[in-house]
Each structure stands twice: as C-alpha cells, then as structure tokens.
Amino acid sequence: MKVDRLVLGEFENNCYIVRNNDSATECLVIDTALDVRELPAFLDQHKLSPVAVILTHGHIDHIAGVNALRKKFPSILIYIHKLDSEMLGDANVNLSIMAGSSFTAGKADRLIDEGDTIDKAGIRLRVIHTPGHTPGGICLYAEKDGIIFVGDTLFAGSIGRTDFPNGDMKKLIEGIKHKLLMLPDDTVVYPGHGPETTIGREKTDNPFLS
C-alpha cells in the first residue's frame, strides 16, 4: 500500500491519499481539512483518480473538502458512519459554526458500521467503530498491510478530545483498549493530526491508556 500524507489547514489535519501501489492511478482519500486547495493539486500532479472519500468522523476539519471533491470528481463516493451522517448537513453539529463558517454537504453515498469492509481501488479496509470523540467515529484497518487510520480516536501520546457535544471519554477509552490495542504491536497508526505511531508504542507509552 502507498500512503501519502498532506497536512492541511489551520488545524494541521492529516489528509491521506491511499493507493494499492506506486503505479496505481485510482486512490482513496481519508479525511479532508478546512483548507483543501493542496489536495486537488496533489491529485492532478500525480494523475490520480479518487474513487471514494472515507470520513473518520463528521467534524468540520475532516469533512470540509467534500463539496470540492464532489465537484471535481462527480462519480466519487462519500463514506461516513451512520451515527455521524447528520453532521454532513448540520453546521451546528459538525462545529463549522464554531469555526466561523457554516458548512453543509449533501448526504453520504454510503453509510458504514462496525465490521463493514470497504473494498475499493484495490484496497481493503475494515471499519472499526470507536465512538467517543463523536458518536460515529471510526478507524480503518488494512490488516494485510499492518496499517490503521484512526482519525481523532488516537494520537501519538494522546487521545481524541471528548469535550465537544456528544463526546464520551469512557466510550473512547473503552474502544481504544478493547479494539485497537488488541491489534499487533507493529501495526502502524496514522492519526488525524500529528505524527504516525504504532500500537505497541501507544500501549506502553500513552499516559491516557495506562
């Protein structure tokens, strides 16, 4: 698997462009950002065709690029967990009002849930539901490649915030401990913000999980 990371916008979101290999032209986009201008430019530069955007949750700094990508790539599919689906159409719930704008997008093309598999562009990702940061927060596990994309569930040395509306610290910790820390220690973790890490490193060094 080929993973490219763009750090976008004032919140320094990690936007991931994922391909089956270096020569593949089809790709998946995992999360966007408040400012997504670099993303279409990157896709054009590398002659990539995104077939789907998978949103790890519905906060504005992860969904704001949906409309721009739909306009540029009309056949693209938008995936989000069913419990966060309303956030695409509600500026209060997706926190764009708090960020100083009023962003809404059309409905998702695919609603996903725990245990679902996304099989697109030669990439196979298993959906792991990890609520707590938002009700429909998810992680995306590529078992064959030993990679997991965790959105704002888990960070290097930290965890996602739970002080926003509908946050739940207990659920977040439970999901991380019972679903993520059970994965192999060498699993590479790609978070929604900040540097990559591994499951083993977070198991031993993350102060929120001791």
pLDDT in tens, 128-144: 999 999 999 999 999 99
In this structure, which amino acid lies at residue 34? Answer: L
- Give the tokens for residue 118: 């996304």
- CATH number of the domain to which 128 belongs: 3.60.15.10
Residues of the chain falling short of pLDDT 50: none
Q: What residues make up the domain containing 106?
A: 2-209
Give the contacts of 97 (CB within 8 A, at least 6 positions apart).
91
Question: What local confidence, expressed as pLDDT, does residue 18 receive?
Answer: 98
For residue 155, the cross-strand partners are 158
**Cα 190 from Cα 148, distance rounded (Å):** 6
pTM for the model stands at 0.97
DSSP string, 27-62: EEEE---S--THHHHHHHHTT-EEEEEE-SS--HHH
Name the domain count of the chain. Answer: 1
Question: What local confidence, expressed as pLDDT, does residue 158 receive?
Answer: 98
